[in-house]
Structure 1
């Protein structure tokens, strides 16, 4: 869906009720390798005459996991097929505060990690939620989460200014950055931290997100540790 929106945005295709219509006269198939052209031809034969709902239903039947947060699955599937979707849903009872970075993984893998861990609210703790990586700027990420039933919140108050993150060459540089972060931002954002804890208590499984894959090089670690120290904490902390 995100790829389709991008193609539409740049006037490469337009969409009506049943079809995608290409604006350009360019024959993109000629630029493909024979193997890829053959694969696309086979795909067209198999699915080219199906409607969007038929394609969705086919996907849900073959891969029930992808329908676990769907708002339309119950309407387009038979009762037996819908039961397979319900059985595919991760059921988690423990209250957990997760943290997750998106460095080095695709948006699909990132969303799958959230789904598999039954995350219900994603708290974006970046000060500036803009990313050069596709899918991870604020609006894109919010839309992606919404499409799979996860609520998105941006909490810039607990982030670190971009200019403070320059020239970080080694772990010692990060450690110094987070020392200052603990002494300043975390001291001044207690109410924001309490708000995150209240979200956890209400929704049971929430995640803090930022960029870095290495938790020791991301401020979500000291932020999570500060939340753990608040009165009322009695839960698990897990870094994905």
Structure 2
């Protein structure tokens, strides 16, 4: 079993073998904030801090029989002693959290997280229920406010879904254009439907533009930068000239929404065709800057 899943089970066990979905996310977040090598990242969601990976792991643990198939987090195995399957350092962190927060109501727990980590309340639909006006003003300071036009490029290689989304949120990106030919991924969170749902849950619109992608056959056997450069020279000659409709669409999205990102897999901009797409938009309107994330 993955170590991070053991952490999930240990939390449920320590908090009485059943804990509400909202409380669980908050406790896991507080635990992750204390870890040196954190296993889960979070995004500012409609109820505050939220980990998509943790939810995916919950579904996996349900299938494996460790958790009950309920909205709450509930262990399905009696006397398992999950707490002793995690490292001593992590056990100590959890024990302290249990002492500090174990007797708080859900509302009290939410308020504590919002007060101490206001960034994660920026998208909350319930913030006014838990914070007063002055406290909400502090939360609002963490909301991205920059609105100048820009075209961003971002790859998901080496990133968690939450880290990826936070990068977009903090840059106030409004539209994510997926320029993969086939938006499939073995990495959690980056297959088309999952990525679209995650983006829209944090108020980023997702658009797939497969016409701008490169077929997988042409991406095989790329080992040097020269291989990539040759591929992209061919891409600019053979594909981009026939996709001016999509280039103009991206330009119009920037004019409407201000800040638009192009995404594909590769971490390095020079090893992904999204950079060539961004260059094509920039040629159309040189006032639009290109920012690589």
Q: Same fold (TM over 0.5)?
A: yes
CA contact (8 A) 1:65 1:85 kept: yes
2:74 to 17, 21, 36: 21
Question: Does 2:264 correspond to 1:210?
Answer: yes
Matches within 5 A, 1:90-101: 90-101=144-155
Paired residues, number: 238
What stretches of structure 2 of length at least 5 have no aligned partner? 1-50
Q: Is the 8 A contact 2:122 2:140 kept in 1?
A: yes
How much is the aligned-residue C-alpha RMSD, in angstroms? Answer: 2.1
Structural mapping, 1:37-186, within 5 Å? 37-50=91-104, 52-186=106-240
Answer yes or no: is 1:6 the counterpart of 2:6: no
The separation in 1 between residues aligned to 2:108 and 2:204, in whole angstroms, is 25
Structure 1 gaps, min length 5: none
Give secondary structure in 2 for the equivalent of 1:208. Answer: strand
SS at match of 2:144: coil
> Does structure 2 conserve the Cα–Cα contact (< 8 Å) formed by 1:126 and 1:156?
yes
Alignment CA distance shift 1:16-1:82 (3 Å): farther
SS at match of 2:176: strand
Q: Distance in 1 between matches of 2:146 and 2:90?
A: 41
Aligned counterparts of 2:88 and 2:117: Cα–Cα separation in 1: 29
Runs of 4+ in 1 over 6 A off after TM superposition: none
Instruction: Tell me the TM-score normalised to structure 2 length.
Output: 0.74
Structure 1 residue 49 displacement after superposition: 4.3
Shift, 1:196, TM fit: 1.0
Correspondence for 2:40: none
TM-score after normalising by structure 1: 0.89
Q: Relative to 1, partners in 2 of residues 1:195 and 1:62: Cα closer, same or farther, differing over 3 Å?
A: same
Matched-pair contact (CA < 8 Å) for 2:147–2:172: no
